[in-house]
Amino acid sequence: MLMAILAKLITCFSIGLTLVLVSLACYSCYVRNKCRKDDRSHSLKDYSWNVKPFHELHFTIYDIINAIKKENMIGKGGSGEVYRVSLENGDDVAVKHIQKTHSLEFSAEVEMLSSITHENIVKLYCSITSEDSSLLVYEYLPNASLWDWLHSSGVCGIDWNTRYEIAIGATKGLAYLHHDHGERPVINTDVTSCNILLDEHLKPRLADFGFAKVVQTHTTADSTYVSELTVTGIQLVTGKKPLKDESGIVNWEWSKMGTKESMSSLVDSSMNESYKEEAIKVLVIAIMCMSMSPKPRPTMEMVVKLLEEVKNLIK
């Protein structure tokens, strides 16, 4: 009888001790989470933020900082995350949060975009910095990237006229950087279909200038860097993804450059037959930009003119 009572007491004690330990663990987690939230709230009220506006701003620092939340994240790259922030006036902006370890990339992007105003280059509203965080606030472009429209499943394809206008617009943006941006050209060595964003009318904007650089003379930029847009141009015509080695898709195109029939086979099969001749001409221009020697390559200004002449030559 005594043993049975002792056994019950031990069981009750064990259950009670377990409940106490679980309660303590839960309370400890609650306190830690609350401290983290309090720390975050405190940092948001820290007045050490430095804002550099490049356009008239219709938002405050805290409109931006308070919206840097997981549920607002729309993209993530090697240097940080991108957030969509909805403002009280109904507008949206895109905010890139660049990690401290990528401070050089942040500085490059601010230097390049702060003085640029062009319809085919994404608009940088301001930079917001503190000791631990670097934020870039851009115009928000609702139609994602050219890559999404060409290659993502569930996204409707784009017709040839739209692709052609995207090629023209992106090339005009690059021509501005090469030839019209002050005394020293800006070269963006990371032009891909992922970095060509599209607005509500599917008009292109060049974005992501973390790997851009300023070269010393316009002569350097004239033809050396026109290959930036080659792989993207090929994607626009063929609808194919680039290979891991981007030169692979270019070599594949070269191997098909023979008769009109073989070149026609390169054009995206979803494209209307009546536009194939235009598409082939754009493809030839893209391949010209990838010549092994810089001498035969056209300048970016020449590429714009060649593309604009495509439709005139067909008429």
The verdict on whether residue 96 carries a ligand-binding annotation is yes
Structure tokens at 70: 């997981």
Catalytic residue among 39, 190, 199, 208: 190
Give first-to-last CA distance, the chain, whole Å. 107
| Catalytic residue list contains 63 | no
Q: Which long-range contacts (CB under 8 A, 24 or more apart) does 214-217 make?
A: 214/111, 214/112, 214/184, 214/185, 214/186, 214/187, 215/184, 215/185, 215/187, 216/184, 217/184, 217/185
Q: Which residues are catalytic?
A: 190
Q: Residues marked as binding for ATP?
A: 96
Q: Residues marked as binding?
A: 96
